[in-house]
Structure 1
């Protein structure tokens, strides 16, 4: 007969145990130890169990919890522990039979019910520990989002951030202590937010204003990126992303990152995508990090040269070579990468073209030579100025 779970994760609302499911109340009565944030513990009635305040930072509480294995333990969390909550972290190395969870309505559900917003078409984000720039890809007029915020100061910071980007007309709803006796909902424009805000707090945003929107297509304008000139320009970037063909949840290696534009656009294609940019120059690596942060994506950056810098990276589903192309690199990737990995490389010099031609002869794939010209002043008129042709090789290994 299977053993009963020793750990119960209970979702708690602002009204404390009032209104909790019967299973949650029974678990609390039977618990030998209750762990949770001090605010949650303060909501409990007198119990015979030992109480332990979960420490800060959060990771410091995990060894305490693991040491209690075998006793009847309850961990208190907010709302639904598995929606931007602590549940997945707590259970990451526990077997399914060791724990059970009993959620209550999340802050997202409560906020949507106050505003009448359909959750399925509303962006829901937890920004307790994430930068506000995570909002940047989603800022477009008419887009609605519900955000869990660290505290009242973070709400004010979000209003300033929206205003600075040209979205000060956005309507905000500040939702404090939802579901409890201190509940309060107030509304203001982002550029006119005032007053003290109490924690816990959620922020609902109906985006409005003339701010610049990041397009949802490959090949966004070059001036979204800070650069020293080392960048895959917009038309070639669009062709590169099309050849790389990002799919949800996949990982990219961007070798020779330059300004990070390929890796950043890979991440912009889907929130579940991950990318690492490999760049040998420290100044460019720093610029890549700044570009990624400003555009709201979580892009890894490794300072170093491929192939040596690749050893510690998780395996990718796609690789782009925009710089540092060599016979040694191609040979290493051929041996290192799993079958089915998509490889795309660009070359401008005759020597690099020769490497791609030889690689194509050995491994197959498609070679494409692209010549672009832009209209520029020519005396009192205009003429075509040609850029260096680019050869693209794409292959599925």
Structure 2
């Protein structure tokens, strides 16, 4: 019978005496769980933080997994909630989830870790995460309360600031005008198409597609997203985001970058839409840092992150009257409830909706002449 990926017998060699047997078994456990996760096609960006957390928890508890207790988890949780660097409930719940998964793996008889620990240490691993000592998922959205969509005035201020900055750098003769143009257009495209950071940075020029309903937009009428957010180890999700007429101003900016700005970099055969001066693809980390700096220079609320532009896109499409299903497809949400979390319509929109309802209900119906 074939061994399951991550089995103790696949990562522990019998008959070998280790100088530090406990450390050797712990490292074998991590290797085994890593293999099991890779067999589920989970990404390295998911696996690596989990491995780091297990090492961190082991160092905190001063014990190995076959010695862990529920009390160790509770002490760890208290430490995460103490001091000035207190973590968000969603982050702590994610830590609990990782530790629960690891303990499930160790206590699953198919992997052989119970017998291996019993033979070597006369102790066996147990589940330390229970309903009574882990964070419950009580709310659909657990982000910081100050996070919100941009108002229309804030968006206008940000985009005006970006345009002015490009002009100022270009007039000064200093190096950086091309980068300023690129960064401005990346931020505008994030909002105008409701993209996630990675989706934006992974775009290639070939992902710019026409919109059959608006042929005069040329190849800038839609964006084909090939690196959408994946789930449960699946492949990145794909979707096509159509440009909407309310944001058609972004099309001219895209066209300017592709046809005038980007060629100056001389990208040759580089496929990336957003190319740096060093002929590399602009990273999400770089974009985050650049946005935070530009937001501060523009004097906007520091709680407004790049991702808030995506929230703004959803909110504003709803306010413009687009059907919820259309908005859901545009942003690539699997469930309408997720799109609803992103929506935070303005008071002006609510007032107009209420006025329309009042008019519809209370306006007298004309009586017909006899």
**The two structures share one fold, judged by TM-score above 0.5:** no
Say which structure is richer in helix: 2
Which structure would you say has the larger RCO, counting Cα contacts within 8 Å and 6 or more residues apart? Answer: 2
Say which structure is richer in strand: 1
